């Protein structure tokens, strides 16, 4: 009797185990067919083990999706989602099955079809398989065994989400009308279609465009046989090869990996940036190989019709030759959207001519016509014959050039590069051509005249220097910078002869005084005395950097004063001095309510964004901290102190010193330890600043009775425990807006993440601060445990590596 009982017990136990295994453990299969559906919990792995198909829940979501992700890497990276429009509720067990009716069906726990893949072909015993390329394909089982594209009833590569994998085609199958394009996720937690799409525009000569809803944001430009006209720096490389195919059957763009051990894909992220990412074994994360949008000039139609954009110019927009601004007032105020118009109307047949532009990103080809077999001479003739033709260019630049591209009526979104661009011939009236010629003569004359003047003044300058036994080491000419030169006697008078009462404090390389000019303007004077030798480079750097920058969130340099004994910088005076005096002061912080704090945070973010992206120099500040944020009478934040700033573009701001400089507590780990700095090190400092503004506590010197973490670590602990509001400075309490505060803390934690690649760029930060969309989950911050970690590193010992690293950083984060 007892034996029988235990026998039953064992049987039950066994049955239970079977069920448990079926429901709970992740089993893998290699195909799905009519008798083998795939349940939530099991997965389908590709033959080579590169990809896996299964059910997943993204980030903080509580919804469940069917998707494909990389199998071999630890960071879950979903490359395709089936039911992005129809999520499953996580509690019910779903399954994926193949049927003769619609080849693939996703059924929820109650048997309802949530999503289906249909095929127009004749379906008999379909079988689904995941290929090692990440393509989920379905074919009839009774046909031959090989999975070739011709036999596919359906494939996931025909229905892209936000990622273009190698081998995936982006574009159109002319015969079926199928158009494949990318649509961003709504947020990193929500795969439902976001507002951005990246697709081919088939009007005129086809080209890829990035759109937000129906508005164009960015164009790659037309394919020129080698690459896209708007990506001249993307050259043939050992990682991948790319192809643009255009024939009677198909028009598409695709690329392939040349080295199969590299993992790489193109992603349209929820913020509307097109990125090419490569998996880094070393960093154990995705690193950016390049972004499509490289600078402000890539903003679609920034300079309007018949305008051209050159990021090296200030302002970056100008009218094409023979054209003038349509709305001069708007144009001069920096709103170029109205574009330009002809100074002289075309006379059409009576001797119009063409002006040649070199190094161009070809204008929008939706207004174009093309012929692949014409020569450039035939192209010119063709353009000449039709009065609507406004420009022409070679279609294919390979082998001396072939084909013809003609623009009808409109030239828009034209960009000028420093090198590697294409030639464009723009039609102008004969009279404009004549002006052009005389202008060249005038130009030539003035260049010669200018050169002789320059030589003269240089000789004079040197003479004066030697006669004064000049002490100013940095040899620079303030005239070049269009910076007003103040006389030392004027400054002395304005500052009461540099009296102690007028002293505001000590800056990075000398005392700062308050002054008042005769016209009543209040100024701040930064004085560099002859004793402070090491400050010369920083001083020079600051003059050169800041003289070229103008933004409402940057402190304005009014002029300088260069004397034999000492040099001075003259700034606008900020009546509320610096941010640290407010947030770290018990009394004063009370006057700083949450709204003001949030405005300050946003102002700082916009200032950094300008430095990083919109200014002509593309500058990394490298020393962002509370004491370098000045406040004007209305509490508008202004970033100051550009002594450490470096430009990513030219040599303008490059100093000869090779030192890791900055302030501990604000320095990112990769910068403090390896001397690697990039735009993302400023993002880190910004994150620290935000936490300081929210908490009213300094990151460095922060102490807590319960743990040894610094402010970052403290914020991270509270965030993980859902207690972020406890971080808030009690004095902000009265005017508190909890959701905004939580958002600021969340964004700050994204900015201080350990890995620079995970930190958002400033464009994203500004967008996140201004919107209320979902935010990605931050990972662990850098430097959050040992509060003294940053201080263990000797500042000078890293001098060698820093210069070379700077170069490599430039390349990676450049284009």
Ligand X SMILES: *[C@@H]1O[C@H](CO)[C@@H](O)[C@H](O)[C@H]1NC(C)=O
- Residues belonging to the active site: 623
- Say how far apart CA 180 and CA 202 lie, in whole Å: 13
User: Could you tell me if 234 and 253 are in contact, meaning their C-beta atoms sit under 8 angstroms apart?
Assistant: no
Instruction: Give 511's strand partners.
Output: 506
Q: Is 280 near ligand X (CB under 6 A)? A: no
Q: Which of 76, 332, 371, 452 binds ligand X (CB under 6 A)?
A: 371
Residues 669, 675, 681, 686, CA torsion sign:
positive
Q: Is 410 near ligand X (CB under 6 A)? A: no
User: CB under 6 A: which stretch of 83-91, 365-373, 509-517, 518-526 binds ligand X?
Assistant: 365-373
What is the nearest approach in angstroms of ligand X to the Cβ of residue 289? 12
The CB density around residue 611, as the number of other CB atoms within 10 Å, is: 27
- Say how far apart CA 188 and CA 764 lie, in whole Å: 13
Residue closest to 220 by CA, chosen among 196, 201, 239, 247: 201
Output the CA angle 591-597-601, nearest 5 degrees.
155
User: CB under 6 A: which stretch of 177-185, 204-212, 369-377, 597-605 binds ligand X?
Assistant: 369-377
What is the nearest approach in angstroms of ligand X to the Cβ of residue 61? 24
Residues 228-247 that bind ligand X (CB under 6 A): 238
Q: Is 283 near ligand X (CB under 6 A)? A: no
Residues 93-132 that bind ligand X (CB under 6 A): 101-102, 116, 118
What is the nearest approach in angstroms of ligand X to the Cβ of residue 221? 21
Instruction: Give 64's strand partners.
Output: 88
Cβ proximity to ligand X: between 102 and 188 the closer is 102
Q: Is 213 near ligand X (CB under 6 A)? A: no
Residues 247-266 that bind ligand X (CB under 6 A): 259, 261-262
Cβ proximity to ligand X: between 114 and 525 the closer is 114
Cβ proximity to ligand X: between 279 and 784 the closer is 279
Q: Is 378 near ligand X (CB under 6 A)? A: yes
What is the nearest approach in angstroms of ligand X to the Cβ of residue 374? 5
Q: Is 550 near ligand X (CB under 6 A)? A: no
What is the nearest approach in angstroms of ligand X to the Cβ of residue 160? 15
Q: Is 384 near ligand X (CB under 6 A)? A: no
Residue 461's Cβ-count burial label (10 Å; 0-12, 13-18, 19+) is: middle
- Say how far apart CA 779 and CA 792 lie, in whole Å: 24
- Say how far apart CA 717 and CA 707 lie, in whole Å: 10
- Say how far apart CA 198 and CA 185 lie, in whole Å: 12
User: Could you tell me if 669 and 681 are in contact, meaning their C-beta atoms sit under 8 angstroms apart?
Assistant: no
530 secondary structure, DSSP code: T
Q: Is 359 near ligand X (CB under 6 A)? A: no
Cβ proximity to ligand X: between 411 and 608 the closer is 411
Question: Which residue do the tokens 């195909």 mark?
Answer: 31
- Say how far apart CA 630 and CA 638 lie, in whole Å: 5
Residues 160-199 that bind ligand X (CB under 6 A): none
Q: Which of 386, 477, 777, 808 binds ligand X (CB under 6 A)?
A: 386
Alpha-carbon 289 to chain mean position:
12
What is the nearest approach in angstroms of ligand X to the Cβ of residue 70? 15
Beta strands in 6-50 (DSSP E): 28-29, 32-33, 38-39, 43-45
Number of residues binding to ligand X, judged by CB under 6 A: 16
Pairing state between β 307-309 and 414-416: parallel
Cβ proximity to ligand X: between 116 and 596 the closer is 116
- Say how far apart CA 190 and CA 438 lie, in whole Å: 61
Cβ proximity to ligand X: between 406 and 660 the closer is 406
Cβ proximity to ligand X: between 368 and 553 the closer is 368
User: CB under 6 A: which stretch of 47-55, 134-142, 171-179, 373-381 binds ligand X?
Assistant: 373-381
What is the nearest approach in angstroms of ligand X to the Cβ of residue 261? 4
Q: Which of 223, 369, 686, 802 binds ligand X (CB under 6 A)?
A: 369
- Say how far apart CA 152 and CA 142 lie, in whole Å: 13
Cβ proximity to ligand X: between 35 and 373 the closer is 373
679-695 vs 594-609: helix axis angle to the nearest 10?
170
User: Could you tell me if 693 and 685 are in contact, meaning their C-beta atoms sit under 8 angstroms apart?
Assistant: no
96 secondary structure, DSSP code: E
User: Could you tell me if 570 and 524 are in contact, meaning their C-beta atoms sit under 8 angstroms apart?
Assistant: yes
What is the nearest approach in angstroms of ligand X to the Cβ of residue 262? 5
- Say how far apart CA 746 and CA 737 lie, in whole Å: 14
Q: Is 408 near ligand X (CB under 6 A)? A: yes
Q: Is 534 near ligand X (CB under 6 A)? A: no
Cβ proximity to ligand X: between 86 and 116 the closer is 116
- Say how far apart CA 218 and CA 274 lie, in whole Å: 10
User: CB under 6 A: which stretch of 75-83, 371-379, 772-780, 798-806 binds ligand X?
Assistant: 371-379
Contacts of 763 (CB under 8 A, 6+ apart): 271, 273, 609, 613
Cβ proximity to ligand X: between 11 and 241 the closer is 241
Q: Is 388 near ligand X (CB under 6 A)? A: yes
Interface ranges with ligand X (CB under 6 A): 101-102, 116, 118, 238, 259, 261-262, 369, 371, 373-374, 378, 386, 388, 408
């Amino acid at each position: 009797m007892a034996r029988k009982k235990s026998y039953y017990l064992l049987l039950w136990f066994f049955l239970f185990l079977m069920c448990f295994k079926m429901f709970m453990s992740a089993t893998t299969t290699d195909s799905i067919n009519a008798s083998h559906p795939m349940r939530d919990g099991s997965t389908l792995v590709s033959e080579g083990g590169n990809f896996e198909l299964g059910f997943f829940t993204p980030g903080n979501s509580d919804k469940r999706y069917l998707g494909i992700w990389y199998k071999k890497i630890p960071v879950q990276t979903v490359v395709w989602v089936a039911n992005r429009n129809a999520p499953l509720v996580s509690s019910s067990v779903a399954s994926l099955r193949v049927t003769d009716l619609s080849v693939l069906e996703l059924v929820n726990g109650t048997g309802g079809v949530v999503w289906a893949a249909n095929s127009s072909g004749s379906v008999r015993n379909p079988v689904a398989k995941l290929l090692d390329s990440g393509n989920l394909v379905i074919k009839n089982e009774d046909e031959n065994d090989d999975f070739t594209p011709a036999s596919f009833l359906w494939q996931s590569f025909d229905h892209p989400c936000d990622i273009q994998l190698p081998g995936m085609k982006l574009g159109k199958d002319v015969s079926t009308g199928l158009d494949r394009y990318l649509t961003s996720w709504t947020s990193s937690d929500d795969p439902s279609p976001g507002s951005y799409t990246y697709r081919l525009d088939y009007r005129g000569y086809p080209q890829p465009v990035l759109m937000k809803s129906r508005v164009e944001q960015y164009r790659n430009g037309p394919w020129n046989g080698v690459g896209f006209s708007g990506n001249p720096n993307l050259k043939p490389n050992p990682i991948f090869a790319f192809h643009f195919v255009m024939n009677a059957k198909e028009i598409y763009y695709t690329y392939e990996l040349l080295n199969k051990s590299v993992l790489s894909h193109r992603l349209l992220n929820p913020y509307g940036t097109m990125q090419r990412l490569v998996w880094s074994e070393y960093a154990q994360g995705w690193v950016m190989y390049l972004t499509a949008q490289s600078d402000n000039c890539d903003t679609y139609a920034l300079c309007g019709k018949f305008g051209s954009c050159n990021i090296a110019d200030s302002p970056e927009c100008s009218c094409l030759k023979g054209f003038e601004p349509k709305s001069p007032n708007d144009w001069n105020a920096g709103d170029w959207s109205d574009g330009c118009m002809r100074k002289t109307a075309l006379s059409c047949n009576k001797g119009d001519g063409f002006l040649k532009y070199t190094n161009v990103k070809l204008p929008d080809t939706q207004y174009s016509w093309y012929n692949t077999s014409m020569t450039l001479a035939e192209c010119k003739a063709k353009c000449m014959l039709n009065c609507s033709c406004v420009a022409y260019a070679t279609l294919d630049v390979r082998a001396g050039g072939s084909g013809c591209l003609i623009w009808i009526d409109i030239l828009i979104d034209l960009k000028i590069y420093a090198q590697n661009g294409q030639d464009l011939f723009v039609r102008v009236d004969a009279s404009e051509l004549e002006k052009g010629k005389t202008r060249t003569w005038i130009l030539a004359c003035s260049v010669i005249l200018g050169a002789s003047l320059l030589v003269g003044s240089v000789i004079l300058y040197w003479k004066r220097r030697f006669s004064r036994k000049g002490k100013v080491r940095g040899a620079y000419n303030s005239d070049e910078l269009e910076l007003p030169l103040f006389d030392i006697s004027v400054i002395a008078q304005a500052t009461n002869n540099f009296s102690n009462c007028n002293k505001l404090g000590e800056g990075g390389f000398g005392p700062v005084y308050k002054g008042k000019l005769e016209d009543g303007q209040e100024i701040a004077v930064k004085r560099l005395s002859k004793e402070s030798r090491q400050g010369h480079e920083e001083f020079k750097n600051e003059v050169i950097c800041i003289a070229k920058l103008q933004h409402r969130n940057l402190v304005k340099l009014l002029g300088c004063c260069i004397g034999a004994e000492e040099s001075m910088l003259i700034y606008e005076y900020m009546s509320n001095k610096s941010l640290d005096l407010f947030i770290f002061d018990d009394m004063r912080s009370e006057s700083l309510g949450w709204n003001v704090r949030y405005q300050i945070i946003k102002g700082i973010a916009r200032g950094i964004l300008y430095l990083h992206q919109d200014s002509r120099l593309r500058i990394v500040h490298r020393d962002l901290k509370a004491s370098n944020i000045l406040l004007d009478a209305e509490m508008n934040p202004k970033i100051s102190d550009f002594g450490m700033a470096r430009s990513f573009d030219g040599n303008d701001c490059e100093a000869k010193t090779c030192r890791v400089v900055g302030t501990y507590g604000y320095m990112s780990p990769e910068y403090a330890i390896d001397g690697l700095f990039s735009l993302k090190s400023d993002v880190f400092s910004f994150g620290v600043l935000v936490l300081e503004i929210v908490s009213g506590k300094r990151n460095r010197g922060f102490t807590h009775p319960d743990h040894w973490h610094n402010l970052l670590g403290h914020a991270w602990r509270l965030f993980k425990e859902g207690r972020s509001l406890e971080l808030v400075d009690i004095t902000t309490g009265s005017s508190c807006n909890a959701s905004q505060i939580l958002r600021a803390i969340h964004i700050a934690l994204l900015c201080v993440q350990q890995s620079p690649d995970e930190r958002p760029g400033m464009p994203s930060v500004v967008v996140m601060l201004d919107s209320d969309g979902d935010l990605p989950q931050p990972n662990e911050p850098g430097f959050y445990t040992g509060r003294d970690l940053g201080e263990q590193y000797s500042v000078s010992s890293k001098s060698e590596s820093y210069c070379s690293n700077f170069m490599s950083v430039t390349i990676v984060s450049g284009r």
